[in-house]
């Protein structure tokens, strides 16, 4: 029997009115009915809990005039006799009450319920009623009673002392038991601030950082500053920076603030998201200068020029030339690959000329670029450009503009290349590009399937360092990947972006040529590399849907 069916049957056959008219139902009977529903349900515990929570919420909602909050308070008095059901049902009734109180409440009911809950709280800490400390906190927060309510109960019961003393003594007990989270929640709820530095240090000694931060935030700036200093002493710079940033303590810790900012900027620069890094610098000259140094280290000299020009920085540009020469010696460039021309295509005549050129090619390299997007929940960016390369020439297609101007012309022309069984297309991790193209331009037929594909990544068993690492392994020199995550939607693209894009497609052709030449050598010839049977990796047909591909049988 499932949970819903169990609830329905119990309501109908046992006591239908019990779940819809609380005026004549005692808390004990009410809890007994809940237990029977839970015990006879056959679905998982979590499902049963949620089903009962919903049922109980409806009960409270339908009986808002007959004291639902008081009923829950009285149920909490009785629940300890239900043994193993006590903790679970306590959370159940309290969560249902909190949900109910957000929608509607009877003031008289709630006022009396607060007094009842305050009385229960005193009985719990006095030891006459047993509840877990987590339940105690939820009782305090759920009924939202304060020290005044506790004082009222204490006067009626003629208990000596004050509510504040009682709560503080209970918090001390929790601290001795190292139940710091519960103690802090209790102290904050009742606005008790007597505990200071020693309490904070004790929590840090026990590695209770989150609750220590919660306490320091409640206590104010001086305690937050102490916490930051403790983190610094323990060399925990990131949490220290996070507190400074979250609580506006920049003036108190200017040097540490900048160190944290610089660390965050460095991580963004390592990912290549320079635009986001610049936005995070927020015009701070010291941070912008740090970004310039990072750009120089990465060989991203157009970014150096851009930042120096935008923020009128001096003393950086003169030092870049020698390093630029060194950079060219460290990475592949178009001259190394004997590329004669890189053509930008953003109108129909150029598109037609490019297709005419590639119809005469047997092998081309393919690659795509799109603007990176690191914001959670946002839509992925459209593919901005597609690069198609032969051994001597690279065409870079502005897909965004060509699509906006004439989608049908773009579709027809690119189909001539991508659907051609006589042109071998080379890619690197090209399945990712296929997915992105289909997502960006799903209505175009040209990107719905590809004929004669060879993913160069699959030819090698352990390609390390991506395409750059593979180029270094096969051709002796790697690629500079610092522009990978730049803004590919800006127009015009920088010279550096165009070179980067062209190289990513052209290098595939040259890697393939090297592998093919090696595979066609006599079996006894060796040049330091094992012979690679690349033909078996050619895919004769691949659709844009994941997994839809056919491999071509290797030639004998």
Q: Within a domain: residue 151?
A: no
How far, CA to CA in Å, does 549 sit from each of 449, 478, 538, 540?
9, 30, 10, 8
Question: Is residue 540 within a helix (H) or strand (E), and if so which, with residue range?
Answer: strand 539-543
86/19 same-domain check: yes
Q: Looking at the domain assignment, is residue 165 inside a domain?
A: no
Q: Mention every residue, 6+ apart, whose C-beta is less than 8 A from residue 301.
A: 295, 320, 323, 324, 327, 496
Q: What is the pLDDT of residue 20?
A: 58
User: Domain containing 535 — which CATH number?
Assistant: 3.30.420.10
Q: What is the pLDDT of residue 529?
A: 54
3-state helix, strand, coil in the chain (%, to 5): 60, 10, 30
Q: Residue 369, Cβ neighbours under 10 Å: how many?
A: 26
pLDDT value of residue 521: 62
Q: Which of 85, 111, 145 is the last residue of a domain?
A: 145
Helices (H), 190-319: 197-205, 209-219, 221-233, 237-246, 254-271, 274-281, 285-297, 301-311
pLDDT of 50: 84
Domain membership of residue 209 as a residue range: 196-250
One domain, residues 515 and 447: yes
Average pLDDT per 10 consecutive residues for the chain, totaling 556 residues: 41 42 74 82 80 82 74 92 90 90 79 93 93 94 94 92 94 94 95 88 94 95 95 92 93 90 88 84 90 83 83 72 49 90 96 96 96 74 96 97 96 96 94 92 94 90 77 88 82 90 96 81 54 80 63 44
pLDDT at 64: 55
> Both 371 and 291 in a single domain?
no
Confirm whether 275 is domain-assigned. yes
- Please report whether residue 111 resides in a domain: yes
Quick one: which H or E segment has residue 511? helix 495-519
CB 276 within 8 A of CB 373: no
Both 87 and 205 in one domain: the answer is: no
Do 380 and 282 fall into the same domain? no
Q: How many domains does the chain have?
A: 4
Q: Do 245 and 285 fall into the same domain?
A: no
- pLDDT confidence of residue 6: 41
Q: Are residues 440 and 318 in the same domain?
A: no
User: Does 307 share its domain with 372?
Assistant: no
Q: Please indicate, yes or no, whether residues 239 and 286 belong to a single structural domain of this protein.
A: no
Q: Is residue 368 part of a domain?
A: yes
Contacts for 136-140 with beta carbons within 8 Å, 24 or more apart? 136/182, 137/182, 137/185, 137/186, 137/189, 138/90, 138/91, 138/94, 139/76, 139/94, 140/185, 140/186, 140/189, 140/190
The verdict on 223 and 357 lying in the same domain is no
Would you state the structure tokens that stand for residue 547, as one six-digit string? 């997994």
Residue 377 lies in a domain: yes
pTM: 0.59
């Amino acid at each position: 029997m499932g949970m819903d069916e169990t609830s329905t049957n119990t309501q109908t056959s046992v006591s239908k009115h019990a779940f819809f008219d609380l005026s004549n139902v005692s808390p004990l009977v009410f809890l007994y009915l809940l237990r029977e529903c839970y015990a006879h349900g056959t679905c998982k515990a979590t499902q049963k809990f949620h089903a009962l929570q919903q049922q109980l919420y409806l009960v409270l909602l339908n009986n808002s005039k007959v004291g639902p909050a008081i009923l829950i308070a009285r149920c909490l008095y009785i629940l300890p006799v239900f043994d193993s059901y006590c903790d679970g049902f306590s959370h159940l009734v309290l969560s249902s009450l909190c949900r109910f109180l957000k929608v509607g409440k009877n003031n008289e009911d709630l006022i009396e319920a607060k007094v009842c809950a305050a009385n229960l709280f005193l009985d719990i800490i006095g030891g006459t009623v047993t509840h877990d400390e987590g339940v105690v906190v939820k009782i305090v927060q759920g009924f939202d009673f304060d020290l005044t309510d506790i004082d009222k109960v204490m006067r009626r019961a003629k208990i000596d002392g004050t509510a504040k003393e009682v709560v503080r003594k209970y918090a001390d007990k929790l601290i001795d038991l190292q139940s710091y989270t519960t103690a802090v929640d209790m102290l904050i709820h009742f606005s008790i601030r007597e505990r200071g530095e020693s309490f904070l240090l004790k929590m840090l000694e026990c590695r209770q950082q989150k609750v220590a931060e919660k306490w320091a935030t409640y206590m104010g700036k001086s305690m937050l500053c102490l916490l930051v200093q403790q983190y610094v002493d323990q060399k925990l710079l990131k949490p220290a920076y996070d507190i400074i940033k979250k609580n506006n303590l920049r003036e108190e810790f200017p040097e540490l603030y900048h160190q944290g900012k610089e660390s965050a900027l460095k991580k963004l620069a390592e990912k290549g998201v320079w635009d986001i890094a610049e936005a995070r610098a927020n015009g701070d000259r010291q941070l912008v200068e740090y970004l310039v140094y990072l750009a120089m280290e990465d060989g991203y000299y157009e970014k150096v020029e851009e930042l120096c020009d935008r923020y009128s920085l001096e003393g950086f540009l003169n030092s870049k030339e020698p390093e630029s020469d060194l950079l060219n010696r460290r990475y592949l460039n178009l001259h190394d690959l004997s590329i004669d021309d890189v053509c930008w295509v953003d109108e129909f005549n150029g598109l037609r000329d490019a297709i005419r050129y590639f119809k005469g090619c047997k092998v081309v390299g393919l690659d795509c670029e799109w603007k990176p997007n690191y914001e959670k929940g946002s839509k992925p960016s459209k593919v901005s450009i597609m690069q198609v390369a032969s051994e001597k020439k690279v065409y870079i297609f502005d897909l965004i503009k060509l699509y906006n101007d004439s989608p049908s012309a773009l579709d027809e022309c690119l189909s001539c290349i991508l659907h051609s069984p006589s042109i071998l297309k080379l890619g690197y991790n090209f399945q990712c590009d296929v997915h992105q193209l289909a997502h960006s331009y799903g209505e175009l037929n040209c990107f719905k399937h590809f004929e004669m594909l060879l993913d160069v990544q699959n030819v090698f068993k352990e390609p390390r360092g991506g395409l750059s690492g593979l180029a270094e392994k096969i051709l002796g020199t790697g690629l500079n990947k610092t522009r990978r995550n730049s803004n590919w939607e800006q127009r015009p693209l920088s010279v550096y972006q165009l070179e980067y894009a062209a190289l990513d497609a052209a290098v595939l052709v040259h890697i393939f040529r090297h592998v093919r030449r090696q595979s066609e050598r006599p079996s006894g010839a060796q040049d330091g590399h094992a012979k690679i049977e690349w033909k078996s990796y050619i895919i004769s047909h691949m659709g844009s849907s994941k997994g839809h591909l056919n491999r071509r049988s290797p030639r004998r």
